[in-house]
Amino acid sequence: MILDRLKEEFNSLKNLFDESKEQIEKNVVRVESYKGEFYEITPYSYQRTGFKQGTIVKNTETYFYEDNFLQKIVIKQFDRNEVEQATLQHSFNYKPNGELNSITLTTELYSETIYQEK
């Protein structure tokens, strides 16, 4: 009985986050560029991709460029023993005129487009 009710509620609300996000983005007045970690509109995206919650021991960021265009950013997380625990990659796709077209987030678990030019 409880499991059925949970399934019903989940199915009825599963698109609520995306709809709310789209509605909020329509009202954006100013866009800030921010290069620090853990500043995202999508809650818990780092935890979703396998990064551990809590104190980060060590992160390394590597930037890859081709023809003066940023192609990808690879972020690796290491534990206290310097063993790699998770890798997060942002890939950038450009239009023929050089404008940014999309950004894709990739991990060992999945891949999703986090920005798409409208």
Q: Which of 97, 107, 33, 108 has the alpha carbon at shortest distance from 69? A: 97
pLDDT of 84 above 60: yes
| pLDDT tens track for 12-58 | 777 777 787 788 778 777 666 655 554 555 555 556 656 666 655 67
| 64 pLDDT more than 80 | yes
Cα gap 96→108, rounded to integer Å: 29
Q: What is the mean pLDDT of the chain?
A: 78
- Locate tokens 């625990």: which residue? 85
pLDDT for residue 61 is more than 80: yes
The whole-angstrom separation of Cα 10 and Cα 30 is 33
According to DSSP, residue 37 is labeled S
